[in-house]
């Protein structure tokens, strides 16, 4: 079976998912076509034009079509009608109905694009129950604002075609050695806990709450070490520069890891992965860290409760100062008892490894054919 995969905004998690499909599905050949992850508004509206212009795309070569939710599938089918003969699944890494925006922009066309793409597909797949739920809740709320002409059965029909399949994690993360080239962590049980932040350097991950909690703990002389990873963009929140200066005496690494091996190596040397995210549809960065032995400390919101038990979650608050204070208390409980944390076992995420998930993906794609 040969599948055409179109990824319209090929960011890291999208690339990891697509690569995993190509490498792990026996008897299924996946041909990946992508557009770079930049100029988001243009990608959302212009991707169908870009893909349609690819004259090397020959629908006759494929048995099925798999697209990410960024693809404007309805428009693409109009521009390349021969693609209509291919049974199609759409995969939602995120949905635009609840996506937080830094600016007050009209996002109606983003939501409509997601909706039309889902309606044009035969199967609609989400990476978490949270993603599925918020897509339907957010889209329903959006459609209620429309003046007229909205069919009452639109979302009911989509629900019948919807299901959840998470983005799997590489099998190498779960090996005893943590994967080739990944160092064994230090064994000193008395050293201070090493915290890691490994998210995008953007406002929707709420780095301000994270670093303000660390500033307070540092002022209280609570001991810890710090590793900051994750991709940085041109307009990184200024709190990162402040943290690099103010916490310099606690930092072991601060910045993007140049290679995948370096990145995984730092994760394996850390004890606690912390999130303050206000946007997370699965949480691959956290899940990779946990697979390599980190204990998670996560807000009880977004997709985190879908994958982690309550013991790994701290209460979520909309008020910034309240959230910072809750995080300070949660971190302090861990940091003053490093031996206790090291005696605990991290959550078991082996169900997310490709070896376990590939059969569900194979069934999905074979059922399309």
Distance CA 271, CA 190 (A): 12
- pTM of the predicted protein model: 0.93
Average pLDDT over residues 259-287: 96
Q: What is the pLDDT of residue 101?
A: 47
State whether the Cα torsion 277-357-35-83 is positive or negative.
negative
Q: What is the pLDDT of residue 183?
A: 53
Residue 107 — very low, low, confident or very high, per pLDDT cuts 50/70/90?
A: confident
Q: Quote the mean pLDDT of the chain.
A: 93
Each residue's pLDDT tens digit, 146-195: 899 999 899 999 999 999 999 999 999 998 444 444 555 565 677 999 99
Tokens representing 140 are: 């329903």
Each residue's pLDDT tens digit, 3-34: 999 999 999 999 999 999 999 999 999 999 99
With a CB cutoff of 8 Å and minimum separation 6, the contacts of 341 are: 193, 271, 272, 295, 334
Question: Does residue 70 carry a pLDDT above 50?
Answer: yes
Domains and CATH numbers, the chain: 2-168+354-368 (3.40.50.2000), 171-351 (3.40.50.2000)
Q: What is the pLDDT of residue 187?
A: 56
With a CB cutoff of 8 Å and minimum separation 6, the contacts of 190 are: 338, 339
State whether the Cα torsion 49-53-56-60 is positive or negative.
positive
Distance CA 345, CA 141 (A): 41
With a CB cutoff of 8 Å and minimum separation 6, the contacts of 137 are: 97, 98
Assign 236 to helix, strand or coil. Answer: coil
Question: Does residue 285 carry a pLDDT above 90?
Answer: yes
Distance CA 329, CA 140 (A): 38
Tokens representing 112 are: 């409509």
CB 323 within 8 A of CB 213: no
Q: Of the candidates 83, 260, 300, which has an alpha carbon nearest to the alpha carbon of residue 173?
A: 260
- 64-68 sheet: strands from edge to edge: 29-34, 2-7, 64-68, 88-92, 123-126, 162-164
Q: What is the pLDDT of residue 179?
A: 44
């Amino acid at each position: 079976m040969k599948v055409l995969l179109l990824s319209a905004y090929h960011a890291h998690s999208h690339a990891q998912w697509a690569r995993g499909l190509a490498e792990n599905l026996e008897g299924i050949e996946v041909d990946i076509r992508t557009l770079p992850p930049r100029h988001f508004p243009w990608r959302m509206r212009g991707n169908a034009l870009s893909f349609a212009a690819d004259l090397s795309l020959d629908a006759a070569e494929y048995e099925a079509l798999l697209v990410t939710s960024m693809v404007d599938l309805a428009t693409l089918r109009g521009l390349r009608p021969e693609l209509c003969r291919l049974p199609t699944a759409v995969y939602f890494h995120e949905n635009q109905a609840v996506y937080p925006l830094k600016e007050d922009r009209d996002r109606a066309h983003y939501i409509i694009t997601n909706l039309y793409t889902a309606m044009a597909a035969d199967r609609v797949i989400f990476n978490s129950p949270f993603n599925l739920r918020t897509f339907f809740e957010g889209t329903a709320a959006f459609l209620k604002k429309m003046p007229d002409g909205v069919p009452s059965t639109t979302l009911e029909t989509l629900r019948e075609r919807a299901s959840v399949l998470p983005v799997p994690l590489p099998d190498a993360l779960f090996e005893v050695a943590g994967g080739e080239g990944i160092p064994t962590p230090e064994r000193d049980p008395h050293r201070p806990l090493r915290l890691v932040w490994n998210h995008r350097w953007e406002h929707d991950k709420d780095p301000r709450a994270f670093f303000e909690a660390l500033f307070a703990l540092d002022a209280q002389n609570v001991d810890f070490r710090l590793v900051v990873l994750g991709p940085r963009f041109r307009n990184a929140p200024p709190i990162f520069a402040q943290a690099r200066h103010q916490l310099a005496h606690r930092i072991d690494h601060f910045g993007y890891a140049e290679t995948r091996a370096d990145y995984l190596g730092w994760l394996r040397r850390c004890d606690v992965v912390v999130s303050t995210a206000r946007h997370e549809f699965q949480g691959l960065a956290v899940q990779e860290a946990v697979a390599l032995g980190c204990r998670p400390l996560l807000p009880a919101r977004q997709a985190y409760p879908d994958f982690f038990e309550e013991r790994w979650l701290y209460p979520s608050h909309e008020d910034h100062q309240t959230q910072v204070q809750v995080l300070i208390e949660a971190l302090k409980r861990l940091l003053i008892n490093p031996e206790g944390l090291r005696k605990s076992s991290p959550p078991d995420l082996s169900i997310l490894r490709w070896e376990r998930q590939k059969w569900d993906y194979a069934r999905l794609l074979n059922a399309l054919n």
